[in-house]
Chain A
Amino acid sequence: MTATTKRSARTKRSREHPQRTPGPADGCELYRQMLRIRRFEEKCVELYSAEKIRGFMHLCIGEEAVAVGVMQALADDDAVVATYREHGQALARGMSMSTVLAEMFGRVTGCSRGRGGSMHLFDSSLRFYGGNAIVGGGLPLAVGFALAEKMRGSNRVTACVFGDGAVAEGEFHESANLAALWQLPIAFFCENNRYAMGTALEREHAQTDLALRAASYGMVAWSVDGMDVMPVADAARRAVELVRDNGGPCFVELHTYRFRAHSMYDPDRYRDKAEIAQWRTRDPLPALAHRLRADGALSDADLNRMETEIEAEITAAVEEAEAAPLEAVEDLTRFVYSDRGAQP
C-alpha cells in the first residue's frame, strides 16, 4: 500500500440521497407478509418431518408480527443483524422463499450455498447479516456496523434483533454500553418470547422489565405488544426515525410468544399447555384479519387470493429446492479464506 492509494471512508452519498424510514404501514400488506411467513414455516415443519430439512430449525410461528413490523420500518440501505430464529425476518426483509428453502435443503442455490442451513441465512445485497446462532453473538457485530456508519457520516441505521435470553449475556450489556457511550445509530429490537430455550423469563432474570434495564444505559427504551403488528410497526418506525434523526441508540422490547417448541428437538415440557392456549388466543394473524375485515379493507376474496398466491410460491420454492444441485464436494474448503487470501 502506498500513499497514492489513499482511500476515503467518507461518503457523500448519504447526504445527497438521505435514507427515509418508510411511511405508515398498510395493514393488508403486513397481514399478507405475516401469512406468508406462517404458511412457509408450516411447510418447513412438514419438510422437516420428511427429513428434507435437517439440523436445528427454530420457528417463529406466533412471532410473525415482530418480524414483519420491524422489517417494514427499515430502508433498503439499513442493515439487519438477527438470530437463528430468523426465517420470518429474512423473508420480510426481501429474501426469496426459494433461496431460504434451498439453504435449508443444503443446496448450492441456497443463500449460503448450503453451508449455513436454517440458522445462518445471509444476504449481503439486502444487508441482511442475520443468522447468528450464538445467543448475544450478533449484538457486538451490530455495534460495529453502526460504528462504521457513524465514522463515515452516513445516516444508515443498523437494526439488531435478539431474544430475551440475550439480555442475560454479557455481550448485551457490553453492546448496550458501547452503543450509548459512542452514540451509535443502532435500534435494538428485543423479541421477548418469555423463554430462553426452556428457561422462563422470571427464572433467568432478576429484573424482568428488559426495557428498564436497557434504559439504565441512557438510551430511550420502551415495551410494545409484540402480538399486534400495527403497534409493532409504529414502534419500529418511531425507533428507526429516532435513531436516524438523533444518531444514538434506542431499545424496543416486543412482548411475544412462540406457539411451537424452541426447536424441532424440543419436547416442550417446560410450558403449561394452558399458557400456550392462552397466548394462541392472541395469535397476530386472525386478530388483524378480523379488524381488516371489519374495516372493509380485506375481503374473503382478498384472503383467498393471498392464500393461493402464497401456496403457489411455496410449491415453486419446494420444487426448486428439490431440483437444485448440491455444492461439489471438491469445493468443501472454499470460502474458508478468500480466493486471494490464505489457503489452509
Chain B
Amino acid sequence: MTAAPAVAELTYREAVRAALRDALSQDDRVFLMGEDVGRYGGCFAVSMGLLEEFGPERIRDTPLSESGFVGAGIGAALAGMRPIVEIMTVNFSLLALDQILNNAATLLHMSGGQLNVPLVIRMTTGAGRQLAAQHSHSLEGWYAHIPGLRVLAPATIADARGMLAPALDDPDPVLIFEHGSLYNVSDSIPDGTEAVDIASAAVRRPGTDVSIITYGGTLRTVLRAADELERQHVSAEVIDLRVLRPLDDATLVDSVTRTHRAVIVDEGWRSGSLSAEITARLVEQAFYELDAPIERVCAAEVPMPYARHLEQAALPRADSVVAAALRAVGGHA
C-alpha cells in the first residue's frame, strides 16, 4: 500500500528557498552569490536562513558589482562549480548584460564547444508594486532573444519549487525570472521535490474557443480573465509558456489548431517583444488555422509611472484580456 504524498502549502518564496536548500544540500559545487543574499536574507527574503545553514562561503554576499559577480559566476562555472547567482532585480541585470551576453551565452560556441557555462542566474522581474520606471522592468523578452541561454519564468508554486534542479543540471546557462508579485502567493503542492521539465509550455486551463498565451506574473491575471470569459460563455484555454527560450512552438500551435484564435498577454513592451515573436511563429506555423487576427495585451509603451492608477493603466489587466478575447472570438464562440 502506497501512502499518498504529503501535500504542503507553500508560498512562492518558500518554494524557491526549498529548491535552493535542496540544491545546496545535494551538491557541494552549488553556491548562492548575490547582493544581500546572506545576512539580509535576500531582498525578497528568499534566502532567509540559508546563511545560518550553509555558511558565508556558500551563501555569499557580494558588493554592488553586478558585472563583477555575474562574471565571477561564469568563471566559477567554467572552473567546475555550479553557481547560482542572484541579481536582485532584472533592472540591475543591465549592468551585467555584457557578461551574460558576451560571455555566458557565447563562450561555448566561440570556443568551438570547449567551454561549458553551467550557471544559473535568478532575478526578480516585473511591475505592479509602485516602484516606478527604474524598478519595474520586464526584460525577460530581451534575454529570450539571445541564443545560448535558456530562459525560464516559473509562474506557479510547483515550478518555483521544481525548476531550479533541472536548471542546475543543464550544462548551459539558465536564467530564471521570478515575478516580484508572486513571492507571497501560496499553493498546495506534493511534499518533496517534484520533478518538472524545463522544456515545455503547460496548458493551465483547457478550453475550446480561444488560446490565451502568457507566462510568469500575468498567468494569474489571465486565469481570472478566463473565469470571467466562462461567465460570458467563452471557453478560454490558458497556456503558460514556462520556458521563454527555447519556445515550445508545438504546444502553442497545437492549442491554436484547436481553438483557432489566439490572445498573447505579455508584461513587456509590445514593440519587438516576446509577444511579437510568438505572433510571428503562429502566423508562420498556424496561419491557416487562425479564424481571427491575433490579439496582444502588453504593457503600455511608457517608462512605468509611480502613481497607482497610472501603473495599473499601463499593465495588462483581466478586463483588457477579456476584451481582447471577446474581440478574437467576435461573437462566434
Contacts and interface: CB of A to CB of B under 8 A. Distances in A.
A142 B27 CA distance: 23
Given A148-B75, A342-B246, A141 B27 contact: no
Given A131-B110, A145-B75, A341 B68 contact: no
Contacts of B115: 122, 124, 129
Contact of B112 (A1, A114, A145, A340): A114
A207 interface: no
A178 B68 contact: yes
B70 A140 contact: yes
Contacts of A334: 113
Interface in A230-251: none
A7 B114 contact: no
Contacts of A333: 147
A19 to B, nearest CB: 15
Contacts of B75: 81, 140-148
Given A337-B172, A342-B246, A137 B79 contact: no
Interface stretch (B2-10, B96-104, B221-229, B265-273): B96-104
Interface in B9-41: 22-23, 25-29, 31
Given A115-B110, A116-B112, A1 B168 contact: yes
A259 B103 CA distance: 30
A140 B246 CA distance: 27
Nearest to B114: A124
B29 A7 contact: yes
A113 B112 CA distance: 5
A140 B72 contact: yes
Interface string B181-218: 00000000000000000010000000000000000000
B312 interface: no
Contacts, number: 176
B81 interface: yes
B80 interface: yes
Interface string A74-92: 0000010100000000000
B250 to A, nearest CB: 13
B67 A170 contact: yes
A7 B103 CA distance: 26
A17 interface: no
A278 interface: no
Interface string A162-173: 000000001100
B240 to A, nearest CB: 18
Contacts of B308: none
Contact of B108 (A114, A129, A337, A344): A337
A338 B165 contact: no
B21 to A, nearest CB: 12
B65 interface: yes
B114 A6 contact: no
A149 interface: yes
A174 B67 contact: yes
Interface residues of B, number: 54
A261 B36 CA distance: 45
Nearest to A11: B80
Interface string B104-120: 00001111111110000
A16 to B, nearest CB: 18
B22 to A, nearest CB: 8
A10 B250 CA distance: 43
B246 to A, nearest CB: 5
Given A141-B78, A342-B150, A342-B172, A122 B112 contact: yes
Interface string B52-78: 000001100011010111111111111
Residue of A1, A112, A122 ringed by the most chain B CB atoms within 10 A: A1
Interface in A295-344: 333-338, 340-344
A6 B103 CA distance: 29
B169 interface: yes
B74 A140 contact: yes
A137 B109 contact: no
Nearest to B169: A1
A148 B112 contact: no
B172 A171 contact: no
Nearest to B73: A144
B102 A113 contact: no
Nearest to A169: B67
A78 B245 CA distance: 35
A146 to B, nearest CB: 8
Residue of A8, A131, A342 ringed by the most chain B CB atoms within 10 A: A342
A335 B27 contact: no
A148 B81 contact: yes
Contacts of A145: 75-76, 78-79
Contacts of B77: 144
A137 B150 CA distance: 22
Contacts of B109: 115, 335-336
A281 interface: no
B170 interface: yes
Interface of A: 1-3, 5-10, 79, 81, 110-116, 120, 122-124, 129, 131-132, 134, 137, 139-149, 151, 170-171, 174-175, 177-178, 181, 333-338, 340-344
8 contacts: A113-B112, A137-B103, A139-B68, A140-B67, A145-B75, A151-B57, A337-B148, A342-B246
Interface of B: 22-23, 25-29, 31, 57-58, 62-63, 65, 67-81, 83, 98-99, 102-103, 108-116, 147-148, 150, 165, 168-172, 199, 245-246
Given A131-B111, A140-B75, A334-B113, 10 more contacts: A79-B79, A111-B114, A112-B111, A122-B112, A141-B72, A141-B78, A144-B77, A148-B75, A335-B109, A336-B148
**Which 5 residue pairs are nearest across A and B when measured between Cβ atoms?**
A144-B75, A140-B71, A174-B68, A113-B112, A148-B79
